[in-house]
Amino acid sequence: MDVSSRVMIPLVTPFNRDYSLDIESFKLHVERLYNSGVRYFFPSSSTGEMDRLGIEEVAQLVNVLRECLGDIHIYPGIFSHGVSEALSKIEYLDKSCDVDGYIIPTPSYFKYGLNSLYKFYSEILANTEKEIIIYVIPSNTGILPEPQLFRMLRERYSNLAGVK
């Protein structure tokens, strides 16, 4: 198996001059990646305006990916400041898209401790059967979780697929 097929690519989100999604440029970009062997895609990534896209726009990108490329693995980023917002976005995407899992960044603004992060991710992991990848971005959040957090979560939740 070509190693590029197991690499997950964080996708940029192209925009038109009026700030609407530039779907044609997006299609060209993902088709080029696919043709080079990539099969795992991360729309709504930190390089793809994760914190600025509306959930409808994320769904549109996911649906374009699926329609264009078919049998690929899609893990959209879900930016939120709290559990209910994250779960609401997951529920929306579960109903309107075909995704393999989600990438959930550490919440920002407030500095969460070990117990708070455990509760945050536990609520999300317990409320979806989809795979979850935790996205640690200490330069943006000011939080670098202890490895103990991931061990505790993995012992309890089989859908914790990884940490980025």
Which residue ranges make up each domain of the chain? 3-163
CATH number, domain 3-163: 3.20.20.70
Q: What is the pLDDT of residue 2?
A: 52
Angstrom distances, CA of residue 47 to CA of 16, 43, 44, 119: 17, 9, 8, 27
The pLDDT of residue 1: 43
The helix or strand, by DSSP H or E, that contains position 116, with its residue range, turns out to be helix 114-126
Assess contact for 59 and 88: CB atoms under 8 A: no
Q: Which of 145, 138, 140 is nearest to 117 (CA)?
A: 145
Q: Could you list the pLDDT tens digit for every one of the 164 residues in the chain?
A: 455 557 888 999 999 999 999 999 999 999 999 999 999 999 998 777 877 899 999 999 999 999 999 999 999 999 888 899 999 999 999 999 999 999 998 887 667 788 899 999 999 999 999 999 999 876 777 677 788 999 999 999 999 999 88
- By DSSP bridging, strand 131-135 and strand 73-74 are unpaired
pTM of the model: 0.91
Per-residue pLDDT at 6 = 73
What does 43-70 look like in DSSP terms, one character per residue? -S-GGGTTTTS-HHHHHHHHHHHHHHH-
For residues 8 and 75, is the Cβ–Cβ distance under 8 A? Answer: yes
